[in-house]
Amino acid sequence: MFQAATTHSAPVATNGRALSTNDPVKSGAYGGDGGDAFDDYNTLGPSSLGVSSIQLWSGNAIDRLVITYKDGHEVTHGDNSGGSASETFNVGSSYITKVSIRSGNVVDQLQFELADGKKSAVYGGNGGDAHSCQAPEGTAIVSFFGGAGNSLDQIGCYTIPTCSDIGSVTGKWVADVYTDGDATIEQMFGTASSTTYTRDESWSDSVTNTLSGGFEFEGSSSSVQVWRWEFDTADSCGDAQTFKDYVTTNDVDHEPCCPPGNSLS
């Protein structure tokens, strides 16, 4: 009897592209020197990289900034004793590419822009001078630092590269486990990387879309009874493996004949 226990990788949606887990690049800081310093990346760690949603309280300046990161962490900077609450700005499966800022001794105004062209409302007043955190081409704004007390006194951004479009994709059956009796096999579904980059569920979906145009099939001659189908994918971030289907054959002389979805001998 063959039993399967399934594991999944946690999705971190980023507009169909992966984000590097290399150390992010820190921008300049805009605003004054008041309040207590904060640094979300150094406090929460690499797993938090990527913004899910933002909400602000503001009047003539930014009183409070609440950021929810992709891993579920919510952080608050500033005070909500003044100003009005905004609607939550949802980043969704996109990512932030620009933050427009007005600041003097405090952060007077903020606006966020996404890779898909969506923009938030303009929050705050018109005081201070105009600045911006602009993600260079091929990068995303994924975390923030600055200072806050009774208001948001200062803000700056962290950016990291995004992966380019998917390049080559090769599909093949890979020898997994041999068993001659009852066994429990742990199956992996999802995408794993052999580099310092992480792939997410949206990226895996884009692998599937790429495959609609065809891929190279590699046969195998490993002597096993349990096989898994693996897509090896290359892009500008390096190489990754996507595990899809598992099959069993009667014996070592009957390896899978065809890609998943086709008749197997």
216-243: pLDDT as tens digits: 444 444 344 577 777 777 666 666 666 6
> Can you list the domains of the chain with their CATH numbers?
25-161 (2.100.10.30), 166-250 (no CATH)
Chain segment 78-136, per-residue pLDDT in tens: 987 777 889 999 998 899 999 999 999 999 999 999 999 999 999 999 999 999 999 99
**pTM for this model (two decimals):** 0.63
What torsion, rounded to 10 degrees, do the Cα atoms 89, 93, 97, 103 define?
A: 20
Q: Is 233 exposed, middle or buried (0-12, 13-18, 19+ CB in 10 A)?
A: buried
**Residue 51 pairs with which residues in a beta bridge?**
69
CB-based contact 142:161 (threshold 8 Å): no
Q: How many CA atoms lie less than 13 Å away from 109 in the CB half-sphere?
A: 16
